[in-house]
Structure 1
Amino acid sequence: MTASASMHVPPGLAQPISVPPFKRSLIGIALAAGLTTHASVQAQTQPAADAIPASSQNAATPSDATSSADKPAPKKESAKTPSRVDQLDRVIITGTQEEGTAPNTGYTVRSTQSATKLDLAPKETPQSITTFTAQRIQDQGLLQLDEVLKHTTGITLVSAGVAGAGRQPVYARTFPVRAVQMDGIMASNFILSGEGDESIGMQDTFLYERIDVIRGSTSLTAGSGDPSASLNFVRKHPYRDRHLHAAVKAGSWNTRRGELDFSTPLNESKSWRARIATAYQNGDHWVDRVNNDSKTLSLITALDINDSNRINLGVTHYDFKLRGASPHGITRFSQIDDAWPEEFKYPESKGKPRYWVYPTSEEERNFNNATPWSRTHRKYTNFFANYEHDFSDNWLIRLSYNHADNVDDRLYGELGTRFFVPWADKANYVADRRHGQNIVNAFDAYLKGTVEVLGRPQQLVVGANSYDVRRKMYGGYAKITEPVSSPDVMVFRCPYMAMDTCGDSPENRTTLGYPISDWNKAGGNVPPEVWKDDDMYTYKYIHHLQRRQTGLYFSTHLQPIARTHLLLGGRWARETQKPVYSTCHNGQVDPTCGKDKPYKATSNPDIRPKFLPYVGLVVELTPTINAYASHTTTYIRDQNYDSNRHYYTKQWLPPIRGVTREVGLKGAFFDNRLDVAVSYFKMVQKDFPFYTMHDVIYRTSNRGLADGYRVYGYEISMAGDITPRWKISAGYVRQRQISPDSYINYSMVDMTDFMASYRAPEKTLKLFTSYKLNPKITLGAGLRWQSATQSQWIPRYYTQSEKQLMKQDAFAIVDVMARYQFNPRLSLALNINNVFDKVYYQHERSYISGAPRNFLLTAAYKY
């Protein structure tokens, strides 16, 4: 964990503790380089100052205005550079250290390594970066990571059903977010999910001290991914001093929650420390018949073996159960084919080609389209270990290991995800069972230090990292065949398919017309498909995947001339993937597929090493304002399985590269307590595989590589303390995505595959602010606004009125907060979300609404 630190060391104090050589060297770097951005040193030469008193190790945060560490320091008597750093006697440092002694009570941080592995202040980082601190999480009463991401600048979260029941992909700058770090270590997005890479928001916020979001291309620290963003989850590491946070919460829909966060030194010298954070929650949902419970645990210990060696060990566990929920809501429009019964059709639909669409009647927000026996169980366990060693005054090595074993299991039946036709009293019905497991092992080792170049100290990081993912997915959709026992249940023919009834393939699974009246009478209690635990997987399919990514990287912070900083880096990346294996039932899905017979690889099994450069330039315009420019890169393997070989050469296509160029201004004001940034960005995909569709036969007629999607826009953000009483975090993003010129955006995707049609809002605004009226009362308010979104799945023959059915209008959500501080330790807070009870939908094609007006009451005790 990186906490901000401000230390005042007067001479003559007792109880000294040793400063590791690497930390001592930072003082010399600051003196030699004259850094003023986030490290200032005032020194008076005296002998024997190699130790800093333990009493001075209090880590003040940007908003700790009342902390003794932030009080004005005594006037310095001299500011001479000593011949030996070890001879400093009186030192005042404002910088960073690995551990603090107190929680961060602000909305920003003084330093972060998330973008480059270099210790840089936000204004020194040549990319857009947002930090969501634990203090802001507490102030807003956010309990799940998906709630945090919804309030994060530049991030969009898409959910077609009840949160936790299915996929919840995260987007930034119109692209999916797939790059994840844990404590700054590249770890793969599979480390946060058992089912796939689109559920990274399904964890408890109580596991983390803060979340850093680095927007743009981030291969240097996060590995492969789209040019969107990477997320760095910083765990709750122990403090050097004892701290306790305990809280009980109660809220809407019978929500009940208890929290305990306790950090303490385990010996007198504080060289051995531990921290435990645990939470339990249960409650219902605004959707009828849905309830959930979750258990969260984090246990982390830190040990300073001696002045030069340190280790950290920890384990986190999250167990989440959801009952009665579906991953998809009722479709907001129905698409009907010519072959379907007449009672399904509008009179005005006659004569339209192939398909037509019409609006689905809107149900109440609490309508549940899932069966009562639907269930989801997520169980994630993560173990990690870190080791640090100081070689000398200038160099440090750090070794890290992460292991995750994540399991997702879900069973559900759902109504109306493709068509919902009240006048015919029919809606489609599907049943599904999925069991997924991701086992992830991630390693990272780097050497970090300083070298003298051109008379100035220059920072350097050199390292290697890798992760290995072993993924297993079992299960599948229930196969629906005739005859059906109920005369009111219809099995529809699959249009334009050479079979009488649809099989269990994803594209053609919605074949059962179920009476809506029967559903309402029975409360959705449709008898479930009978699965046996020992044979359910072979009945459907088995999907195995092993993916490994390795790389060598470096980053440097150079200062060739005064007030100019050059950041150079790069990563050599290599990725391998083993073929997919599948077991089919009686060969009904694929006649060539037998038990344990491997499919041919559906994507390039081996991506050869590629160099991905990182270039950044930062110029200090004034002591508080910097100008910057950057060129960053990333890559992702081709996801278009049907076109991932060149049409003529039959060779594997190269990975898609994402290039981001960004320029902007950053400032740190009010003694670095408030960070402000303005930036312009432009991104493009290189080696993008495209295909065109024949206008008559709707088949691929041409394939190749070209520049892919282009995105450009600008961002304005600020975070921190405007005054010691007034905190704020705000961000406005305007962006536009342009499709490749040679790519016809037409897809035959299944209507229940909601995520394939996502199109990001062009404008978003996220704001939260809190103000301390007096020592007792704190008030806060937040705003989330986004412009209208339009489904990207729009066949060319749709009329304008039909396109409107796939649109989500712009909406704004207002939240408020009030907290009363009875004494320094005890407080009572009230959060009211969606104050004006705005009705909006979380996806432009699904009738699953965002949360109605709700409240959360929190009683907290801390010391």
Structure 2
Amino acid sequence: MRKIFTLPTSALTLIALGVLNSAVADTLDLPSTSITGDSEDAPQGYQARPNASTTRLNLTAGQTPQGVTSIKREQLDDFKLNSIRDVLDSTPGVNVQKIETDRTYFTARGFDITNFQYDGMGMPLNGGLLVGDIDTAPYEQVDILHGANGLMTGSGNPSATVNFVRKRPTYDTEAKVSVSAGSWDKRRVDLDVSGPLTDSGNVRGRVIYANEVGNSYLDRYSREKNIFSGLLAFDLTDNDTLTLGIEDQKTNANGASWGALPLTDASGKALHYSSTRSSIAQPWVYWDVHTTRAFAEWQHSFANDWKSTLTLTAMEHREDTNMFYVYGNSGSATGFTGLASNYKDKTRELDGDISFSGPFTLGGREHQLTFGANVARSRTQETSLYGTSSYYTDVSLQDALNGVIPKPTYNIANAADTSNYTDRQKSVYAGARFSLTDDLHLITGARMLSADSDGENYGSARDVSIHGKVTPYAGVVYDLTPHYSLYASYTEIFNPQYYLNTQGKVIDPLEGKSYEAGIKGHLLDNKLDVSAAVFHTKQDNVATYAGFNPALGGYLYDGMSYKSNGIELEASGELAPGLQISGGYTYVYITDADNDRGRKFIPRNALTSSMTYKLPMAPKVKVGGSLKWQSKIENDAAAAANQAAYALVGLMASYDIDPHWSTQLNLDNLTNQKYLQSVRYGQSNYGDPRNLTASVSWKF
């Protein structure tokens, strides 16, 4: 395994400040900004309040006419949710599809989650999926806003929006160091130091560093992650706070898979593999991903409880890969075709947002208003090289599983194997919460979006030009009692798309309508939040995989129409003294334009839950468990590629040795369940078998 550099904390701090100043100064000649936390009376345990950047109107979960899930730092630590893939796997209503070792799709309510935001900022995921990993070390909380988000983000999407809430510099000195080790030689170190840098505390800093390295249950796969985050907060005046920060995440994976195990042969018959270790990755493949984000935020508080926030972010994402792919092919003498590729990618993104929010009086009642504007730009450059010895050539599946496919010499490079395009978005938005009566509240607003793209994507023009598209949003919340409220919401769906259709052209924008209604409750002295929702979404031009054609840009998609209907049940908080729970059940049924079931790779039923309990007879001991169950899934085009219903069980136990030291054990997949991670594309690796992690932590 190739080693990534490891530096002492002092050096990391200096590098962070230098890179941040350079990145922001070179790319954006605009003022910098800051991050402020939520109120001090935040809920305890697993009960959480969404961050202000998640809903824009700074609403609580009960005030929001949509489903909201917030995963706090305590739950992240209890179950070692160090990856966003682990977090969303533990989120009710979200399905994680690990189509390869280092690329992942996420779906909610039947459709892809493409909006990943950082303190409310960010363009949609490039290609609609996550490449590499996002480690949770730099974040205090992860918010998932279920359903459509036309008001909250730059484009409508009926699945969910994931908002990463960054850790922030603290007024008090805090420090935590954690060391863990586990199955397959996995080792991890976490460091988090925060506090004032001046006697008055008007300048504060925070440094976060994590390193994770280890092998895998998969043959030939190993990975190393390095994560660094540095933040500085300045109280310029009593009303102005400026925060600067940088985050750097590197993932180096050897033995990574491009595609995965073929689940059917060329005739469509199911293939079975005896070992969960099986992998088509070769010893010479790798997938390195490096993402850097610099941000600045300036928040000003006015005398009338209004606030303004100016936020600027800059991101650079790089990939360097050497990959190998296998698929069933009836025209091949061996029944399988192989393809090797040397691929490089660089994407740079700039985002700017300015917003104003605060109360106003109308009709003798106080209401809330927010409005602002957002601009974003990203540029992507890609190159793919191929070798004649492995350019759609016959291969033996057994040779691939044994890892004996020779590394090719890459000698094919042409213009059709490159991409160079720019995407731009700009929007203005406004939203308000009107208190029509003491118990009835109207949340309404709209966003007007313009999006355009230009350039070439693997020989095809990437042309998108959309101007002045308005997505309205409306919701009502009625307080039945001090503990229960009813809600309903409606929005139109609009989302620019950049996939290529079967003619090699950019597919038309996704459009549709989304409805949601439900009830929310705050029980047991407001320590437990519960909710139940029903939803209906109709969409047109949903990008649906239609095959692979390198002459037309690679993966191709058709624009299909789907309807999604379902229910969501969720609970979080303290069920009894010392007993924390977080979880829920989801039912989703998806039909196509002919009213036949569609997108069958998404489970119709799913249950997710996590629970911890502090033993009353031994308050230093915490025990807990997790359960994830889903119903059968199958590939839409090949029913033989399927996964029967299965359940995964996890256990944890921790012991506080003293106020500073603690130790913890986590056991995942207790029953050693063998299961496929995804059948979306008729290929999949097996999921993690039973594994154990032990850790020791020190905090100050």
Q: Please indicate the TM-score interval, normalised by the length of the shorter structure.
A: 0.7 to 0.9
Q: Which residue is equivalent to 2:571? A: 718
Q: Which residue is equivalent to 1:859? A: 696
Q: CA deviation at 1:295?
A: 0.7
Q: Which amino acid aligns with 1:725?
A: G
Deviations 1:783-805 (A, max 9, x none): 000010121124xxxxxxxx3x2
Q: Which residue is equivalent to 2:90? A: 151
| 1:708 aligned counterpart, secondary structure | strand
Deviations 1:670-697 (A, max 9, x none): 34322110011111115779999xxxxx
Q: Which amino acid aligns with 1:623?
A: P
Specify which of 385, 394, 403 is matched with residue 512 of structure 1. Answer: 394
Tell me if the contact between 1:480 and 1:512 (Cα under 8 Å) persists in the aligned partners. no
- Establish whether residue 106 from structure 1 lines up as the match of residue 45 from structure 2: yes
Measure, in 2, the Cα distance between the counterparts of 1:213 and 1:313: 25
Q: CA deviation at 1:637?
A: 2.6
Measure, in 2, the Cα distance between the counterparts of 1:266 and 1:103: 25
Measure, in 1, the Cα distance between the counterparts of 2:519 and 2:397: 60
Measure, in 2, the Cα distance between the counterparts of 1:819 and 1:688: 45
Measure, in 1, the Cα distance between the counterparts of 2:497 and 2:203: 47
| 2:87 aligned counterpart, secondary structure | helix
Q: Which amino acid aligns with 2:235?
A: D
- Judged with a 3 Å threshold, the aligned counterparts in structure 2 of structure 1 residues 397 and 540 are, in CA distance, closer, same or farther, namely same
Tell me if the contact between 1:248 and 1:258 (Cα under 8 Å) persists in the aligned partners. yes
Deviations 1:378-416 (A, max 9, x none): 1110000000112322322110011101101110234x5
Q: Which residue is equivalent to 2:622? A: 778
Q: CA deviation at 1:641?
A: 3.7
Q: Which residue is equivalent to 1:570? A: 446
Measure, in 2, the Cα distance between the counterparts of 1:858 and 1:252: 12
Measure, in 2, the Cα distance between the counterparts of 1:110 and 1:230: 16
Specify which of 188, 191, 196 is matched with residue 260 of structure 1. Answer: 191
Measure, in 2, the Cα distance between the counterparts of 1:450 and 1:103: 21
Tell me if the contact between 1:662 and 1:679 (Cα under 8 Å) persists in the aligned partners. yes
- Judged with a 3 Å threshold, the aligned counterparts in structure 2 of structure 1 residues 600 and 819 are, in CA distance, closer, same or farther, namely closer
- Establish whether residue 788 from structure 1 lines up as the match of residue 632 from structure 2: yes
Q: Which residue is equivalent to 2:76? A: 137
Measure, in 2, the Cα distance between the counterparts of 1:471 and 1:242: 41
- Judged with a 3 Å threshold, the aligned counterparts in structure 2 of structure 1 residues 581 and 776 are, in CA distance, closer, same or farther, namely closer
Q: CA deviation at 1:656?
A: 2.1
Q: Which residue is equivalent to 1:183? A: 119
Q: CA deviation at 1:197?
A: 3.5
Of 667-676 and 107-116, the range deviating more from structure 2: 107-116
| 2:261 aligned counterpart, secondary structure | coil
Tell me if the contact between 2:317 and 2:347 (Cα under 8 Å) persists in the aligned partners. yes
Q: CA deviation at 1:426?
A: 6.6
**Structure 2 unpaired stretches of 5+:** 1-34, 547-557
Measure, in 2, the Cα distance between the counterparts of 1:121 and 1:838: 38
Q: Which residue is equivalent to 1:553? A: 429
- Judged with a 3 Å threshold, the aligned counterparts in structure 2 of structure 1 residues 531 and 677 are, in CA distance, closer, same or farther, namely same
Q: Any residues of structure 2 matched to 1:271-420 within 5 Å, and which?
A: 271-335=202-266, 356-414=267-325, 416-418=326-328
Q: Any residues of structure 2 matched to 1:559-598 within 5 Å, and which?
A: 559-580=435-456, 582=458
Measure, in 2, the Cα distance between the counterparts of 1:769 and 1:721: 10
Measure, in 1, the Cα distance between the counterparts of 2:177 and 2:567: 41
Tell me if the contact between 2:112 and 2:128 (Cα under 8 Å) persists in the aligned partners. no
Q: Which residue is equivalent to 2:465? A: 606
- Judged with a 3 Å threshold, the aligned counterparts in structure 2 of structure 1 residues 544 and 529 are, in CA distance, closer, same or farther, namely same
Deviations 1:322-350 (A, max 9, x none): 11121222212101xxxxxxxxxxxxxxx
Measure, in 2, the Cα distance between the counterparts of 1:429 and 1:654: 32
Deviations 1:287-311 (A, max 9, x none): 1222111110010111111111111
Deviations 1:551-589 (A, max 9, x none): 00011011021211111111001101113155xxxxxxx
Specify which of 676, 691, 694 is matched with residue 841 of structure 1. Answer: 676
Q: Which residue is equivalent to 2:580? A: 727
Q: CA deviation at 1:635?
A: 1.4
Tell me if the contact between 1:180 and 1:222 (Cα under 8 Å) persists in the aligned partners. no
Measure, in 2, the Cα distance between the counterparts of 1:426 and 1:182: 45
Q: Which residue is equivalent to 1:524? A: 403
| 2:55 aligned counterpart, secondary structure | coil
Measure, in 2, the Cα distance between the counterparts of 1:690 and 1:538: 28
Q: CA deviation at 1:367?
A: 2.2
Q: Which residue is equivalent to 2:380? A: 471
Tell me if the contact between 1:112 and 1:122 (Cα under 8 Å) persists in the aligned partners. no
Tell me if the contact between 1:105 and 1:135 (Cα under 8 Å) persists in the aligned partners. no
Q: Any residues of structure 2 matched to 1:402-441 within 5 Å, and which?
A: 402-414=313-325, 416-418=326-328, 427-441=336-350
Q: Which amino acid aligns with 1:571?
A: R
Q: Any residues of structure 2 matched to 1:641-656 within 5 Å, and which?
A: 641-642=500-501, 655-656=509-510
Q: Which residue is equivalent to 2:15? A: none
| 1:253 aligned counterpart, secondary structure | helix
Measure, in 1, the Cα distance between the counterparts of 2:246 and 2:55: 26
**Structure 1 unpaired stretches of 5+:** 1-95, 191-195, 336-355, 482-503, 583-598, 647-651, 693-703, 746-756, 795-802
Q: Which residue is equivalent to 1:769? A: 611
Deviations 1:808-840 (A, max 9, x none): 111100000011111122111000000000000
Measure, in 2, the Cα distance between the counterparts of 1:175 and 1:743: 16
Q: Any residues of structure 2 matched to 1:475-514 within 5 Å, and which?
A: 475-480=384-389, 509=392, 511-514=393-396
- Judged with a 3 Å threshold, the aligned counterparts in structure 2 of structure 1 residues 207 and 622 are, in CA distance, closer, same or farther, namely same
- Judged with a 3 Å threshold, the aligned counterparts in structure 2 of structure 1 residues 200 and 623 are, in CA distance, closer, same or farther, namely farther
- Establish whether residue 664 from structure 1 lines up as the match of residue 524 from structure 2: no
Q: Which residue is equivalent to 2:11? A: none
Q: Any residues of structure 2 matched to 1:440-479 within 5 Å, and which?
A: 440-479=349-388
Q: Which amino acid aligns with 1:811?
A: Y
Q: State which structure, 1 or 2, has the greater radius of gyration over its C-alpha atoms.
A: 1
Q: Which amino acid aligns with 1:855?
A: L
- Judged with a 3 Å threshold, the aligned counterparts in structure 2 of structure 1 residues 477 and 229 are, in CA distance, closer, same or farther, namely farther
Q: CA deviation at 1:457?
A: 1.3
Q: Which residue is equivalent to 1:615? A: 474
Measure, in 1, the Cα distance between the counterparts of 2:147 and 2:350: 26
| 1:531 aligned counterpart, secondary structure | coil
Deviations 1:12-52 (A, max 9, x none): xxxxxxxxxxxxxxxxxxxxxxxxxxxxxxxxxxxxxxxxx
| 1:278 aligned counterpart, secondary structure | strand
Measure, in 2, the Cα distance between the counterparts of 1:105 and 1:560: 31
Measure, in 2, the Cα distance between the counterparts of 1:718 and 1:662: 18
Tell me if the contact between 1:451 and 1:457 (Cα under 8 Å) persists in the aligned partners. yes
Task: Give the structure with the higher percent strand.
Answer: 2
- Judged with a 3 Å threshold, the aligned counterparts in structure 2 of structure 1 residues 839 and 361 are, in CA distance, closer, same or farther, namely closer
- Judged with a 3 Å threshold, the aligned counterparts in structure 2 of structure 1 residues 477 and 717 are, in CA distance, closer, same or farther, namely farther
Deviations 1:473-500 (A, max 9, x none): 111444458xxxxxxxxxxxxxxxxxxx
| 1:148 aligned counterpart, secondary structure | helix
Tell me if the contact between 1:275 and 1:300 (Cα under 8 Å) persists in the aligned partners. yes
- Establish whether residue 636 from structure 1 lines up as the match of residue 516 from structure 2: no
| 1:136 aligned counterpart, secondary structure | helix
- Judged with a 3 Å threshold, the aligned counterparts in structure 2 of structure 1 residues 807 and 368 are, in CA distance, closer, same or farther, namely closer
- Establish whether residue 807 from structure 1 lines up as the match of residue 686 from structure 2: no
Deviations 1:576-613 (A, max 9, x none): 1113155xxxxxxxxxxxxxxxx56355x201211111
